[in-house]
């Protein structure tokens, strides 16, 4: 069990994460344009019980209350994303001053309370007007994205010192452009490959633009990652695990570091060739100050001739005798330890920019008891410490998420938050995991809310 955050060192960054579409609401307020998620989630049949993010947690109107609560909970770092279409309603061109003003208020209030803002520039909510032009499948997105990044760093870079370019490009290109289960709902290999290559170019180009405008900033980008292990020790399953690992964990981080796409281990990536232009191999590379890894679980795979391209299938947690979350993800704390080791080979400092779990909350009056989430966080943080003690250059840990929120295609059913949201009243209630994290950050062993003097 972890008893002292000082075990990690005084410079270790502790925080929480959120994303614009999942919490802000105000989807068409004060000049904001539509995003692909605004359109997708309001399309019948796309989201669990036809839910949408039009209001979500109403962070747009309640940001001061939420950030003040964050301060009361001793949380010193806040990772949040900007809504591209709140700033550029059409994706490019005319700027929405009300959108700029909103994020200025959020940033300034964080700093007023001595909370460090960490901005993610793109967390999946592409302006819908750009999607109508092809979105990530259109190579022009490199210029569109560049215009957006340049404006953001000019407007906010005097106060924001920590930037993340993209959030989980494997997920928003795979789920959004290949499987069609996330916005914008496109399907097909060619859509995926073109979108993925353009996203890989944008993650490096975004870094270059940030550095050109803000030489003292800390610049990174984030990657989803899951420990991938074979179902059996057979050669077929072992090779299947290699292919899935190349797709899920290596496809975006390796070109960034100059290794190119992992074509040798996943022949499918040879089909990227039609989208690769002169100088692209060089332009895929950028020397990030850090990389963020976002780990929740491990994946067990087995060879399958029924699944094209990777010839492997995942064996879901509910098909195995394991502890699992409401997302049907296995609880396997050692996964984060092993992924920290795996990503350490790229020689770039690492932060854990997301980790957390969705479990059913037991709500009794003003109390929310989430023992399983608290245990999950304790166990995963212990594994981060284990890796750090073994010399892994890991320098931070951010819980996903601060509040419950709109969980994409799953709607509001899964709850990841340290803070419970009653979506009918928007009332906030700190969960037992939130109190535990607060006291861990404060350096006490207190878990009883009555001894925290929290006024909210």
Q: pLDDT tens digit string along 206-217?
A: 999 999 997 889
Q: Which residue has the tokens 């399907």?
A: 187
pLDDT per residue as tens digits for the range 376-428:
999 999 999 999 999 999 999 999 999 999 999 999 999 999 999 999 999 99
Instruction: Find the catalytic residue in 205, 254, 354, 407.
Output: 354
pLDDT of residue 362: 87
Q: Could you tell me what percent of the chain has a pLDDT over 90?
A: 93
Rounded CA-CA distance 247/228 in Å is 11
| Residue 448: Cβ within 10 Å count | 9
CA angle 59, 56, 196 (to 5 degrees): 100
Cα–Cα distance list, 29 to 33, 54, 169, 385 (Å): 9, 10, 28, 43
**Lookup result for tokens 């892994």:** 392
3-state secondary structure of 311: coil
What is the tens place of the pLDDT at every residue in 314-329? 999 999 999 999 999 9
List CB contacts of 180: < 8 A, sequence separation 6 or more. Answer: 186, 187
Kindly compute the dihedral angle of the four CA atoms of residues 403, 407, 412, 414, in this order, to the nearest 10 degrees. Answer: -80
How large is the average pLDDT for residues 212-229? 95
Q: Is 116 a catalytic residue?
A: no
Neighbours of 117 (CB within 10 A): 23
Query: Beta 367-369 vs 394-400: how paired, if at all?
Result: unpaired
Average pLDDT over all residues of the chain:
95
Domains of the chain plus CATH, in order, are: 5-451 (3.20.20.80)
Residues near 267 by Cβ (< 8 Å), separated by ≥ 6? none
3-state secondary structure of 227: strand
* Letter string b/e over residues 55-82, b meaning 16 or more CB atoms within 10 A of that residue's CB: ebbbbbebbeebbbbbbbbbbebbbbbb
Q: Which of 168, 205, 299, 330 is catalytic?
A: 168
Helix (H) / strand (E) element for 429: namely strand 427-430
CA gap 275, 62 in Å, rounded:
43
What confidence tier does 365 reach under pLDDT thresholds 50, 70, 90?
Answer: confident
Q: How many CB atoms lie within 10 A of CB 281?
A: 13
Q: What is the pLDDT of residue 424?
A: 96
Per-residue pLDDT, averaged over 276-283, amounts to 97
Rounded to whole angstroms, the Cα distance separating 288 from 164 reads: 10
**Is 168 an annotated catalytic residue?**
yes
Q: What is the pLDDT of residue 1?
A: 54
**Cα gap 217→73, rounded to integer Å:** 27
Do residues 269 and 262 make contact, with C-beta atoms less than 8 angstroms apart? yes
Residue 158 has pLDDT above 50, yes or no: yes
Q: What is the mean pLDDT of residues 293-307?
A: 97
Task: Give 247-277 pLDDT, tens digit per residue.
Answer: 999 999 999 999 999 999 999 999 999 999 9
Residue written as tokens 């750009």?
Answer: 130
Does pLDDT of 278 surpass 80? yes
- With residue 413 as reference, give the H or E element that holds it: none
Residue 3, pLDDT score? 59
pLDDT at 364 over 50: yes
Q: How far apart are CA 217 and CA 293, in angstroms?
A: 19
DSSP for 317-369 reads GGGTTS-B-TTS-B--THHHHHHHHHHHTT-S-EEEEE-------EEETTEEE
């Amino acid at each position: 069990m972890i008893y002292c955050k000082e075990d990690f060192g005084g410079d270790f960054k502790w925080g929480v994460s959120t994303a614009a579409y999942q919490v802000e609401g105000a989807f068409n307020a004060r000049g904001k344009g539509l995003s692909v998620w605004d359109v997708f989630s309001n399309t019948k049949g796309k989201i669990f019980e036809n839910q949408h993010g039009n209001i979500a947690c109403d962070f747009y109107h309640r940001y001061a209350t939420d950030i003040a609560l964050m301060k009361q909970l001793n949380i010193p770092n806040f990772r949040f994303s900007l809504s591209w279409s709140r700033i550029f309603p059409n994706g490019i061109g005319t700027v929405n001053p009300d959108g700029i003003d909103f994020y200025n208020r959020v940033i300034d209030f964080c700093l007023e309370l001595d909370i460090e803002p960490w901005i993610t520039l793109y967390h999946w909510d592409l302006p819908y007007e750009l999607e109508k032009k092809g979105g990530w499948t259109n190579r022009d997105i490199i210029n569109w994205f560049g215009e957006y990044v340049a404006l953001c760093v000019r407007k906010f870079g005097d106060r924001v010192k920590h930037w993340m370019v993209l959030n989980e490009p494997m997920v928003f290109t795979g789920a959004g452009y290949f499987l069609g289960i996330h916005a914008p709902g496109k399907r097909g290999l060619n859509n995926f490959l073109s979108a993925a290559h353009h996203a890989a170019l944008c993650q490096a180009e975004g870094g270059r633009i940030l550095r050109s405008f803000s030489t003292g900033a800390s610049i990174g980008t984030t990657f989803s990652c899951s420990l991938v292990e074979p179902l059996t020790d057979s050669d077929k399953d072992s090779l299947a695990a290699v292919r899935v690992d190349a797709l899920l964990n290596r496809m975006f981080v390796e070109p960034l570091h100059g290794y190119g796409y992992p074509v040798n281990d996943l022949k499918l990536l040879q089909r990227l060739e039609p989208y690769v232009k002169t100088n692209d191999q060089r332009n895929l590379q950028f020397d990030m100050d850090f990389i963020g890894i976002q780990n929740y679980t491990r994946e067990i795979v087995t060879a399958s001739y029924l699944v094209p391209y990777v010839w492997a299938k995942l064996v879901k947690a509910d098909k195995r005798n394991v502890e699992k979350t409401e997302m049907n993800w296995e609880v396997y704390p050692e996964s984060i330890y092993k992924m920290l080791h795996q990503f350490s080979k790229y020689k770039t400092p690492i932060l854990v920019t997301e980790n957390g779990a969705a479990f059913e909350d037991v709500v009794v009056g003003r109390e929310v008891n989430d023992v399983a989430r608290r245990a999950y966080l304790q166990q995963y943080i212990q594994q981060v410490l284990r890796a750090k003690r073994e010399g892994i250059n890991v320098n931070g840990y951010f819980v996903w998420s601060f509040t419950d929120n709109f969980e994409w295609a799953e709607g509001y059913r899964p709850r990841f938050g340290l803070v419970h949201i009653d979506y009918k009243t928007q009332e906030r209630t700190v969960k037992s995991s939130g109190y535990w994290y607060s006291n861990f950050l404060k350096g006490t062993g207190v878990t009883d809310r009555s001894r925290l003097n929290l006024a909210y």
